[in-house]
């Protein structure tokens, strides 16, 4: 028996056929562009909070159109604090690309029995076998290549970086306090002193010492290590994780050591040698190439630890708007994905949890920045109309660190709540 098809109710006919869009397409018509008056009204309260002090700059940009929809002394340069890391991310990614891996090498000169560990500026080099680069892998390769049973002289070459190891304006106690290590082209295990937050006072010597131990454990007779220039040919190499992963980690966790390594590496790519000065040159060149306004920009380190690092809210917001937009450079994607998510990840994991800022949780992605008297927050937020906004809030005479952070959180949350298109 043939069973006939069931009749379809007329009311259900509309469910068949091509599906329509799940979300309406974003519109850039004049009627939907955020109106400056509405944005100003939303930000008036949080940005006028006394805890931020008398010097507060802010810029908000509609990412789709590139239009500045809020400007409060936005061209005045202020201390960037850790938002300097956003510039470092642009600098290193534009120089080498997100897929680049840093290769640390070992050279061998059999005529002099000199083995040299050559620093390449890799901030992720580990002592043990790891997903990326490791001294353990190098040691195993060396044993397979070196047959000399005589004592081997071990050198370490850090010539890729030069100049001062501590940034301008840094306190000499930073390594001991675990704030940041002296910058070197050769570090291992993030330059941490084993079992402590403190950084090695001489990261290159510490790394070479670990390498010497690994070689000794493999039966080689090692004399040293001692600083020097590499000789001979490359017999071992180890490659890092991609730069994209490093940049995401640097931004999410606000890693000072990683940012300084990468800034020096960008400087070395530009001038041949990584220094604080060449890193600053690379930053300015990279931002200029993006078409970002750089008036008042001063970059003396890559982490923002120095009060001498300065930029305007317009510069900072423009960078974020550029890399968040449809016309962003292909190399820039790790910058936005690396920004902490409010209430969830990195340096924002414990923020935007109060009732008056909770509307920004999960909606705001932003880089934090804090020094004594300085509080900054810059990133992206989707407003109540579905518009993507880039913002930069900078207070460089903040009265209280914790309270000023909360005020900036409220400002970002106010944008999330704002039906700014009227």
Candidates 308, 334, 347; CA nearest to 84 is 308
Does 422 have pLDDT greater than 80?
no
Count of CB atoms situated within 10 Å of the CB of 11: 7
Q: Which two three-digit tokens encode residue 47?
A: 């940005």
Kindly tell me if the per-residue pLDDT of 351 is higher than 90: yes
190-194 contacts at long range (C-beta below 8 A, 24 or more positions apart): 190/123, 190/124, 190/257, 190/258, 191/257
Tokens of 123: 């901030």
Q: What are phi and psi of 155, to 5 degrees?
A: -110, 165
Question: Tens digits of per-residue pLDDT, 111-120?
Answer: 999 999 999 9
What pLDDT, in 10s, does the model give residues 370-398?
A: 999 999 999 999 999 999 999 999 999 99
- Which residues, 6+ apart, have CB-to-CB distance to 99 below 8 Å? 242, 243, 244
User: What confidence score (pLDDT) does residue 147 get?
Assistant: 74
- Say how far apart CA 209 and CA 213 lie, in whole Å: 6
**Domains along the chain with CATH numbers:** 36-97+246-417 (3.40.710.10), 103-241 (3.50.80.20)
Q: What is the pLDDT of residues 149-163, one digit of tens each?
A: 788 999 999 999 999
Please determine, for residue 63, whether its predicted confidence score (pLDDT) is greater than 60: yes
| Count of CB atoms situated within 10 Å of the CB of 399 | 16
Residues in the chain: 422
Query: 230 Cβ partners below 8 Å, 6+ apart?
Result: 107, 116, 118, 155, 157
Please state, in angstroms and rounded to a whole number, the distance separating the CA atoms of residues 146 and 20.
Answer: 66
| Cα gap 198→178, rounded to integer Å | 4
User: Is a pLDDT exceeding 90 seen at residue 125?
Assistant: yes
Half-sphere exposure of 143 (CA within 13 A, CB side): 16
Q: What pLDDT, on a 0 to 100 scale, did the predictor assign at position 9? A: 39
Mean pLDDT, rounded, for 173-198: 96
How many angstroms separate the CA atoms of 125 and 383, rounded? 41
21-30, 143-152, 400-409: range with highest mean pLDDT: 400-409
* Average pLDDT, integer, range 237-261: 98
CA 300 from chain centre, in angstroms, equals 16
Cis amide linkage into residue 225, ω under 30° from 0: yes
For residues 294-322, give the mean pLDDT.
98
Q: Is the dihedral of CA 357, 359, 360, 361 positive or negative?
A: positive
Residues 69-94 have a mean pLDDT of 98
Average pLDDT rounded to a whole number, residues 282-288: 98
What's residue 25's pLDDT?
A: 44
Q: Is 39 exposed, middle or buried (0-12, 13-18, 19+ CB in 10 A)?
A: buried
Buried b (16+ CB within 10 A) or exposed e, 363-398: bbbbbbbbbebbbbbbbbbbbebebbbbbbbbbbeb
Q: What is the DSSP string of 58-126?
A: EEEEETTTTEEEEEESTTS-EE-GGGHHHHHHHHHHHHH-TT---EEEEEEETTTTEEEEE----TT-B
CB 381 within 8 A of CB 352: no
Confidence band of 189 (pLDDT split at 50, 70, 90):
very high
Residues 6+ apart with CB under 8 A from 119: 104, 156, 157, 158, 160, 161, 184, 185, 186, 187, 204, 207
Q: 155 is written with which tokens?
A: 């050198």
- Give the pLDDT band (50/70/90) at residue 148: low
SS3 173: coil
Contact 83, 422 (CB under 8 A): no
What is the DSSP code (8-state) at residue 283? H
Alpha-carbon radius of gyration of the chain = 26
- Looking at residue 34, its pLDDT comes to 82
Sole residue written with tokens 């962003």? 328
* Whether 218 contacts 143, CB under 8 Å: yes
Q: Which backbone phi and psi does 57 adopt, to 5 degrees? A: -115, 145
- Residue 150 has what pLDDT? 81
Task: Please state the rounded mean pLDDT for residues 308-315.
Answer: 98
**Residue 117 · residue 232 · CB < 8 Å:** no
Question: 30-34, 171-175, 245-249, 389-393: which range is least confident on average?
Answer: 30-34
């Amino acid at each position: 028996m043939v069973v006939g098809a069931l009749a379809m109710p007329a009311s259900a006919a509309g469910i068949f056929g091509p599906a329509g869009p799940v979300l309406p397409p974003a519109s850039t018509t004049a009627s939907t562009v955020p109106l400056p008056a509405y944005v100003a009204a939303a930000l008036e309260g949080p940005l006028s909070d006394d805890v931020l002090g008398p010097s507060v700059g802010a810029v908000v940009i509609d990412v789709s159109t590139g239009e500045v929809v809020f400007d409060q002394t936005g061209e005045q340069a202020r201390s960037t604090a850790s938002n300097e890391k956003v510039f470092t991310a642009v600098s290193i990614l534009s120089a080498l690309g997100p897929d680049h891996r840093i290769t640390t090498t070992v050279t061998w000169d059999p005529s002099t029995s000199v083995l040299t560990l050559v620093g390449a500026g890799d901030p992720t080099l580990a002592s043990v076998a790891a997903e990326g680069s490791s001294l353990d892998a190098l040691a195993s390769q060396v044993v397979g290549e070196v047959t000399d049973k005589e004592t081997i002289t071990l050198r370490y070459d850090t010539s890729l970086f030069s100049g001062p190891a501590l940034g301008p304006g840094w306190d000499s106690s930073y390594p001991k306090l675990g704030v940041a290590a002296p910058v070197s082209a050769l570090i291992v295990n993030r330059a941490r002193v084993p079992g402590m937050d403190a950084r090695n006072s001489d990261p290159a010597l510490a790394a070479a010492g670990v390498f010497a131990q690994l070689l000794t454990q493999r039966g080689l007779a090692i004399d040293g290590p001692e600083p020097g220039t590499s000789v001979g040919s490359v017999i071992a190499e180890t490659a890092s994780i991609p730069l994209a992963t490093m940049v995401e980690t640097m931004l999410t966790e606000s890693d000072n050591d990683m940012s300084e390594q990468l800034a020096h590496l960008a400087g070395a790519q530009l001038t041949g040698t990584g220094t604080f000065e060449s890193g600053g040159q690379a930053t300015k060149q990279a931002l200029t190439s993006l078409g970002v306004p750089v008036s008042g920009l001063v970059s003396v380190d890559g982490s923002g630890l120095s009060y001498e690092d300065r930029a305007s809210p317009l510069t900072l917001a423009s960078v974020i708007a550029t890399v968040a937009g449809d016309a962003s450079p292909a190399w820039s994607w790790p910058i936005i994905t690396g920004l902490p998510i409010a209430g969830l990840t990195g340096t924002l994991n414990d923020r935007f949890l109060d009732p008056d800022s909770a509307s920004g949780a999960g909606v705001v992605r932003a880089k934090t920045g804090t020094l004594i008297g300085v509080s900054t927050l810059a990133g992206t937020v989707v407003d109540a109309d579905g518009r993507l906004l880039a913002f930069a809030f900078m207070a460089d005479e903040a009265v209280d660190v914790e309270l000023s952070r909360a005020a900036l959180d409220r400002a970002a949350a106010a944008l999330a709540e704002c039906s700014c298109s009227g």
